[in-house]
Amino acid sequence: MIFRNDPNVDALVRLVAQGAGWQFDPEGVNMSGENYVKAGFEHKVDELHEEELRHRRVVPIPSHLAGAVHGVGVVDKDHSNFEKVRVVHNYSENEDWSVNSATDIPKHKWQSAADAMAHLWPRYFMIKVDIKSAYQHLTIALRYLWYHTYRWRDEVVADLRFPFGHRAVPGKFHEVTGALERFLKGQGFSASVGFLDDFWVCCESETLALEALEQIQAIRVFLGLEEAFYRPFRDRASSQIVYLELFSVFLALKLWGEFLRGLTVVLITDDTPTRGDVGKVEVYP
């Protein structure tokens, strides 16, 4: 077991064997939320609902057994003006008696951009790996099953995995990513940073960066986590910066701006929010 020496190994074993548990007082939680799906986007919820059933991340249950039935909705994703959408579960619809209000979570210290910047130095190499639908890899303890339900097309289903919108999700997933980060550091990759559902590693050589990538991929496969994408950042300071996110451009200019004065800097991006922030840019296919 790759985490056998981890200081949080007992919690990790319980997470895998029993599902995620947290401080939850269901007394008084008895609600039936309303769906809020924008007209014309019902097919998006249909697609997600069928996918969840197909992968058995949700299971149909008799409606009278549900302790709380929550509304589902469609919200804009990535500031795309609803070209891309995210289906969310409203676990906070009733502020007095909702699953989120009845959930007591401990305080956590999350990684930040400042933590990442502390590892950045000129001529270093960076790797970023994102885990697809990361939270849905975590199972919910069965004792909470009846309070994590939603209704769609007159069918009530219970979530077996964490959906988007649950208050306990970040902290519980942090238990996994924290262990992964500690494992990477134990392998000598001292500049690794875990951002909840993705990993960012900065190394002094391309060889070390690729070794870190291999380690992350091996752990990901071992745990059954599906990869959304990985981004290798191998370009050093030059007259052309090829990055995918404005954050990377900011870091590059902060570190190496003095070497770029008087040069034309080309930003190539496929990121919609970045194009909106920067203004008019030339887009390459």
Q: Which residues lie below 8 Å from residue 243, measured CB to CB, with a gap of 6+? A: 233, 235, 249, 252, 267, 268, 269
Sign of CA dihedral 95, 98, 100, 105: positive
* Domains in the chain: ranges and CATH: 9-231 (3.10.10.10), 237-278 (no CATH)
Mean pLDDT of 112-124: 72
DSSP of the chain: -TTTT-TTHHHHHHHHHH-B--EE--TT---BPPPBPPTT-HHHHHHHHHHHHHTTSEEE--GGG-S-EEEEEEEE-TT-TTSSEEEEEETTSSSSS-TTTTEE--------HHHHHTT--TT-EEEEEEETTGGGGSBBPGGGGGGSEEEETTEEEEESBPPTT-TTHHHHHHHHHHHHHHHHHHTT-TTEEEETTEEEEEESSHHHHHHHHHHHHHHHHHHTPPEEEEEEE---SSSEE--SSHHHHHHHHHHHHHHHTTS--EE----HHHHHHH-S-PPP-
CA–CA dist 200, 209 (Å, integer): 10
Q: Give me the residue label for tokens 């009846």.
A: 146
pTM passes above 0.75: no
Average pLDDT over residues 154-166: 87
Q: What is the dihedral of CA 247, 251, 252, 258, to 10 degrees?
A: 140
Residue 84, pLDDT > 60, answer: yes
What pLDDT, on the 0 to 100 scale, is given for residue 243?
Answer: 34
Band of pLDDT at residue 218, cut at 50, 70 and 90:
confident
Residue carrying structure tokens 């910047």? 117
Instruction: State CA 30 to chain mean position distance.
Output: 29
Beta bridge partners of residue 104, listed in sequence order = 23
- Lowest pLDDT segment from 117-126, 207-216, 249-258: 249-258
Q: Read off the pLDDT of each residue in 147-152 and give the average, rounded to a whole number.
A: 90
Identify the pLDDT of residue 275: 53
Kindly report which listed range (9-13, 80-84, 142-146, 278-282) carries the lowest average pLDDT score. 278-282
Q: Check: CB of residue 61 under 8 Å from CB of residue 211.
A: no
Mean pLDDT, the chain, whole residue set? 75
What mean pLDDT comes out for the span 139-164? 88
| pLDDT per residue as tens digits for the range 244-280 | 345 566 666 667 766 667 766 565 555 555 555 445 5
pLDDT given at position 162: 84
Structure tokens at 23: 């401080």
How many whole angstroms separate alpha carbon 159 and alpha carbon 53?
Answer: 10
Tell me the average pLDDT across 105-131.
75
Tens of pLDDT along 32-80? 778 889 888 999 899 989 988 998 889 999 988 888 888 888 888 877 8
Please give the Cα distance from 200 to 127 (Å, whole number).
6
What is the arithmetic mean of pLDDT over 135-140?
82
Spatial distance between the Cα atoms of 181 and 94, rounded to a whole number of angstroms: 36
Nearest to 200 by CA among 137, 153, 245, 255: 245
